[in-house]
Structure 1
Amino acid sequence: MSEEETPECFENSCKPEKIVDVFTLINALNKKYEKLQRDYIQELALTPTQHFILSQLWESDGQQFKELAEKCGCSRSTITGVVDTMEKKKIVIRALHPSDRRSLLVKLTEKGKNLKDITPPLESIVNGCCPEINQEEMKKLGELLQKLLNSLKF
């Protein structure tokens, strides 16, 4: 099965009964979301991770590598590589932390700040893609997924 395909059961209206079905469904949803995100940021010549870092910096400019790695769910070395690429594109810079000279911050350049003005929030695109799900159902789904995540033991 290719990355873009999902099991036929989940394209229709299958009701998962086993935990493995739930995880397969979550995986299929994630793949569709990643495709939507890739299509959305493709014209900006950004990867999903670069876009995520930009989103974090638009909210709060000047973050440490460690903070970005935690928020992104990536290793610090991965973030370092992504930031290297973003520096080459001149959308971020590394700056010394004002109170800790051993630490570096990732900060937006003017070009990085300007990208926010031409980039509608991903949320506005995602919100329009699921008209069949109301706010109450979305809240319940979020609660159930959080419960599932918290209950995983391995």
Structure 2
Amino acid sequence: MIQTDNCADGEVCEGYSEVLELVHEINKKFEKMQRRGIQEDLTPAQYLLLRQLWETDSLQFKDLAIACNCSRSTVTGVVDTMEKKGLVKRVAHPKDRRSTLVKLTKKGKELKESTPSLDSLTNNCCQGIDSDELRILTILLKRLSSSLTV
């Protein structure tokens, strides 16, 4: 539910349901676009984790969860699948025996070369929106995101 100065407590503001529907629709279209642009057997969640690992080679589960804005249990499930595909492996943390790192395998590293960057997947999504409009949209979406109560 969105709370703003223009809404009574507990009331969903008129127009916000349309905004939320549009955000949901955009998200679904973006996921479809990602699926077409990345490897067919790679989900958007797996791609997101790979992008993080391509930058650092290995991360702790908690750091992956933070970077991907998802729960540790979600990361665990995604990593399980990626491990079966031979893209990542679990290794003991060199300085903390209680912690496990997710590390790219050779196959996971090689996938970077054959997978287009997120920029190349999204370069057409903002056609018709100039840089000022995009900046304003970003500000408004951040404000919308921070106003959502979870």
- Normalised by the length of structure 2, the TM-score is 0.84
In the TM superposition, 1:35-54 aligns within 5 A as 35-43=32-40, 45-54=41-50
Match of 1:122 in 2: 118
Per-residue CA deviation, residues 86-142 of structure 1 (Å, 9 max, x unaligned), is: 111111111111111110000101111111111120221211233111222111101
Match of 1:67 in 2: 63
Q: State the distance in 2 between where 1:78 and 1:19 align.
A: 29
Q: State the distance in 2 between where 1:81 and 1:144 align.
A: 33
Q: State the distance in 1 between where 2:125 and 2:19 align.
A: 21
- Normalised by the length of structure 1, the TM-score is 0.82
Q: State the distance in 1 between where 2:132 and 2:54 align.
A: 29
Q: State the distance in 1 between where 2:33 and 2:138 align.
A: 20
Runs of 4+ in structure 1 over 4 Å off: none
Deviating more after overlay: 33-42 vs 102-111:
33-42
Which letter does structure 1 place at the counterpart of 2:138?
G
The root-mean-square deviation of aligned C-alpha atoms, in Å, is: 1.5
Q: Secondary structure at the match of 1:133?
A: coil
Q: Secondary structure at the match of 1:150?
A: helix
Q: Is the 8 A contact 2:91 2:102 kept in 1?
A: yes
User: Deviation at 1:42?
Assistant: 4.1
1:78 equivalent to 2:74? Answer: yes
Match of 2:127 in 1: 131
Query: Which of 45, 49, 52 does residue 56 from structure 1 map onto?
Result: 52
Q: State the distance in 2 between where 1:119 and 1:87 align.
A: 18
Greater RCO, 1 or 2 (C-alpha within 8 Å, sep 6+)? 2
Match of 1:93 in 2: 89
- 5+ residue gaps, structure 1: 1-16
- 5+ residue gaps, structure 2: 1-13
Q: State the distance in 2 between where 1:76 and 1:151 align.
A: 24
User: Deviation at 1:81?
Assistant: 1.6
